[in-house]
Structure 1
Amino acid sequence: MNFGMPTLIELEGLEANISLCHELGLDFIEINMNLPAFQAECLDAEVLNELKTKHKMYFTFHLPEDLDVGHFNKRIREANLKIVEDTIQLASRIDAPLINMHMNSGIYFTLPNRKVELYEKFEEEYLRNILASSNHINQMLKGTGVKLAIENTGIYHKPFIRKAVEMFLEETDCYLTWDIGHDYSSGKKDEAFMLIHKERMKHMHVHDAIGERNHLELFTGEIDLPYFFDLAKENNCSCVVETKTIEALKNSTIRLLDRDKGFSLT
């Protein structure tokens, strides 16, 4: 089981992140494509291959969080699919094993007495778009060695989202990421779905939480981390230590190495 880190906003450029990854003895970096420097067109596969060979580590990718492959507008949907395609091609060229993606729950209208979610209101059209997109993405993935893993964000209590994710899971190269902090802080809205489909889990985002506060240092909150590490080992998941600062990442890695906490990197 491998442990990695996200690209941190405190660090300038990829090489600074690689330096910290090497210092902490982690296996990989998840490149966050929300950041301008980490768009697919800004990254050079040859350079990435040189860096991962030199530092004996690898990369995964986190697609932009506003990505929406179920959008009602065909041109917007196609543009989002092109981002996915470009990322798959880049990942394939550098032997990156996994691309992480959020599901987008879409736009809602606020009425005087309720909120109307458009993907729920027009579920048939939304799911038709998702089916076409999931088929297309799976065709892009075939033969590349790259997996797509869909991350939970506290929205799996919504039936239209569960149906959409299950459409992806019918594809051979589409899997799940369990973000345990998002799940805990949502009141475990995602847990039942994740456990039903736990055999499809290939990736984890691990961070601690206290109530609605998450991305905390490991072993400083309320989450039963040894349980999730055992689950990750059972499913051979890669794990991103998804704390957001250098200090929190360093402290979390130290705690991972502390056998008194019930788990170690070795």
Structure 2
Amino acid sequence: MSATTESLALLSPELLAKLERLELVSRKVFRGRMKGERRSRRKGQSVEFADFRNYVAGDDLRLIDWNLYARLDQLFLKLFQEEEDLHIYPLVDVSESMNFGTPTKLHVAKQLAAALGYVGLCRADRVSVQALGNQGRRAPVLRGRSGLWKMLQYLDSVTSGDNVSLHDAIKDFSLRNSGTGVVILISDLMDKGGYESALRMLVGRRMDVFVMHVLSPEEIDPPLRGDRRLIDAEDGDETEITINAYVLKRYQETLQSFISSVKTFCSRRSIVYLPVRTDQPVDDVMTRYLRQRGVVR
């Protein structure tokens, strides 16, 4: 099975070349399961010498520097720089509200997930791009550049409509993935039950948490006027409203208050908050915006 035209459009060849030079920055130290290309702050047993430390009973005798012992009559262990992999989880919100805008928030979320996933694959990290909800249960765990096509095929199969609450979706993710690592939640955070409990759950798992808050220009500045019937895309609730300058002003004030509250919530819990508009080119987001925010280097 080959990737479709739509999935190939997620990452252009030009962007792929730029992504190969990037690295996701983790703010925490995680114990990797396999050797990777990421320099660890822990000391290990690779070929690159790092330091000495005093011998302690029970240490591996093969690591003793016998030449140093002959000169100083003291036992020292040679320490080496260890390279380790990282587990990266880009999580894509696939609720119906994400199927809005031009391009849709879901399409942009897929692009961001694919780009972040490929950065991890190029660094030999373990990558699991997952849709929130039932579609996440068939997401592959990948490692190495060769995993790009499976990742794109999976994202190509992901559709909107899994209207699972963020709380339940993150709970399901947490039960299925017992390890730690970097989680990038890509969502519009539009959940009547709120986003707070879901993010608390990730922080409680000792994950390094990033939130990419995706909004479309049509949501930030709605091109609506006059009498309208508004229908909730997720639960079908309807309301009739007359949209005028006053209503639009109140809407934008409410939206800015919501964004400010999310930013404050994340800041207090050491979650990196990253607002993203769907009219921002993904190339620019990955190579400039995230670099400026210290998310990639």
| TM bracket, shorter-chain basis | 0.3 to 0.5
Q: Normalising by structure 2, report the TM-score.
A: 0.34
Of structures 1 and 2, the one with the larger relative CO (CA 8 A, separation 6+) is 2
Q: Which has the larger radius of gyration?
A: 2
